[in-house]
Structure 1
Amino acid sequence: MSKAFTKETDDDDEDLSLPPLPAGGKNYITPEGYARLKDELLDLIDNERPKIVEVVHWAASNGDRSENGDYHYGKKRLREIDRRIRFLTKRLEIAEISDPAVHHGNDQVFFGATVTYADASGALQTVTILGIDEADSALRQVSWISPIARALLKARVGDEVKLATPAGIRDIEVLEVQYPAPPTVL
C-alpha cells in the first residue's frame, strides 16, 4: 500500500520524555521556565521550520522523490518540528505561572523552593521544586509531582516528613528553605 494515502495519527502529539500531568492537576511553571518554553516555540516557528520547509521544497524540485534523501529526511524532521510545536502550544496554554519569589524569606516549602534536607543517616540533599516541563534532574531539580516534592511541600524548616521510596518509608528532616529574591524595583 502506498504511504501517500495513510494518515498520521494525532497520538504522536505527546512528548514521551515528559510525564503526563496528574488528572485534574495544573501545569505549574516558573516565569523563567515559561519564557524558555515560549522562546523554544517561537524559534521553531520563526527559524527552524522555515529552513526545513525551504530544504524540502528544494529537494522536491529535484524530481524523483522516491530516492531523494534530502526530501525524506526533511519531511521527517518537519513532522518532528510540528509535533513539538503542537506539544509546546498545548503545554503553554494550560501553564499556571507561579513566581517562587513571592515566598522569599518564608521557611515553608512551596512550589519553586530550594530545599536542603537530611535523611536518618545524616546525608544532606538539596533539590529545587519546579514544573514538569522545566525540571532537570542533572541540576538537582525535581518536578512538583515527584515523590520527594510531594513529601516536602507544605513542610517547614525543622519538620520531619515521611518519604515513600521503593525500599520503604524514610524519615527526612527539612533543614533549609530558600526562594529567589524578588526583582528590585528602581
Structure 2
Amino acid sequence: MCSDLRPYYNSNKIGEGGFGSVYKGQLSDRTVVAVKQLSSKSRQGNREFVNEIGLISGLQHPNLVKLFGCCVEGNQLLLVYEYMENNCLAHTLFGSGASTLKLDWATRQKICVGIARGLAFLHEESTPRIVHRDIKATNVLLDWELNAKISDFGLAKLKEEENTHISTRVVGTIGYMAPEYAL
C-alpha cells in the first residue's frame, strides 16, 4: 500500500486533528483517498493507531468511513481512508465561511439518521460489537451526497455485554461526553 500511495502533502492538506494532519492523496489506480498521518506530537499514540486498524479494518457499513489500509515505514504511521468530498460535519455547521453548503431540515435529518444507523450497527449488529466513545461533529464525515459516515475509531473499544458502562479511565472529548460519565 505505501508504494501505491501518492499523497500531495503540502498542497493537499484537508484537515488537522489530535492525531495529526489529513491529506488528499491518490492511489496508483487513481482512487482518491484521505491520508491521516500520525504526528510525532500527537495526543494519540501507537495504541490508538493499532486500535483503529484492528477495530474497523473488517467492518463495512454505509455509515462508517472505509479504511483502505495503513502504512508503517520507519517512524511514519499513515491510515488510508475513502475520501469524503464534503469534509466533516463540524466544517459544514461551524466553518468560518469556507463551507458553501447550506443544510435544509430534510438534509439535517438524513445526516442524523445516518449517524444513528452507524452507531446502531456498531452497538448491535457488528461482530465484534464496538463502542465509539468520541462521537462529535468533527468525527462525522460527509460524502458527495451528504451521507454521514462515522470516522476516527482511535478511542473505540469492544463492547463487553456484562460491563456496558464501567471503565477504569475516561476517554473522549470533554464537552461531548455525558457529565455523569466524566464524573
The TM-score, its normalising length taken from structure 1, stands at 0.23
- Answer with 1 or 2: which has the greater Rg: 1
Structure with the larger helix share: 1
